Amino acid sequence: MIENRTRALRALGRRLTDHVEASQVHGREIAVVTGAQRSRIVPGADGLASTDPTVVLAIHCADCVPILLVDARRRVVAAVHTGWRGTAAGTAAAAVATIVAACGVDPGDLVAAIGPSIGPCCYEVDAPVVEGLAAWPWYEQVLAPARSARPGRWMLDLWEANRRQLVGAGVSPSSITATGLCTAHHPALFFSHRRDGATGRMAAMIALTP
């Protein structure tokens, strides 16, 4: 694991000691970090934001959604981890709100990338998940009947749910890009907890240029 992280950071021209991670507790806490947090895991956080070019922000996923945000004008970056619980809690929207409040960002200046995660082709969920999302006015638009035709089951589109959250927080729809790659559907490319159970994790990293 350390070797893989070292190689990834080396490819970015960085060192392992530049790396900052979120502990990822399936909540909505976004921590604003500086060089003082390098080489640390930030407790209680599912997202990280920074204006410090000495840090590389990292989150890790194996079906959950990685979201990277950048405001090139004000030089702010953020990395967000959100599964269905984080999506229900509004983690993506919280990330935008945090960097607006802490960094003076105009949400209309943000560019967002929604990375590979479990897709609507493979993510079958049950009633507790649907109930968790029901506070969002668009929740029915991100659900479809389960392909298995099992009663009380739906297919959930986490990409669209998080896109809608970002738009609702003020990010321009034209500034949001989703890869559309399902981790469960591409075993040769991605780890997937839903597909494999015990498995590794992919990293999503972002940093400002020095």
Predicted confidence (pLDDT) at residue 12 exceeds the cutoff of 90: no
The full set of domain ranges for the chain reads: 2-117+158-206
Q: What's the whole-number average pLDDT of the chain?
A: 95
Place of tokens 């839903």: 194
Q: For residue 96, give both structure tokens.
A: 């935008």
Predicted confidence (pLDDT) at residue 130 exceeds the cutoff of 80: yes
What is the distance, to the nearest Å, from the Cα of residue 121 to the centroid of all Cα atoms in its chain? 19
DSSP string, 24-87: --SS--EEE--GGGTT-EETT-SEEEE--TT-EEEEEESSSEEEEEEETTTTEEEEEEE-HHHH
pLDDT at 128: 96
Question: Mean pLDDT across the stretch 57-75?
Answer: 97
Q: How confident is the model at residue 132 (pLDDT cuts 50, 70, 90)?
A: very high
Strands 143-145 and 153-156: antiparallel
2-117+158-206 belongs to which homologous superfamily? CNF1/YfiH-like putative cysteine hydrolases (3.60.140.10)
Going across the sheet that includes 111-114, the strands are 30-32, 47-50, 76-82, 65-71, 111-114, 176-178
pLDDT at 136: 98
Question: Mean pLDDT across the stretch 157-178?
Answer: 98
Q: Which of 24, 9, 62, 5 is nearest to 207 (CA)?
A: 9
Q: Which of 169, 168, 138 is nearest to 156 (CA)?
A: 138
C-beta of residue 205 within 8 angstroms of C-beta of residue 56 = yes
pLDDT at 22: 97
Query: Does this model's pTM top 0.85?
Result: yes
Q: Helical H runs in 73-208? A: 84-89, 91-103, 127-133, 158-168, 193-196
Predicted confidence (pLDDT) at residue 150 exceeds the cutoff of 80: no
Say what angle helices 91-103 and 158-168 make with each other, to 10 degrees. 30
Q: Which of 88, 92, 90 is nearest to 78 (CA)?
A: 92
Query: In this structure, how many other beta carbons lie within 10 angstroms of the beta carbon of residue 35?
Result: 12
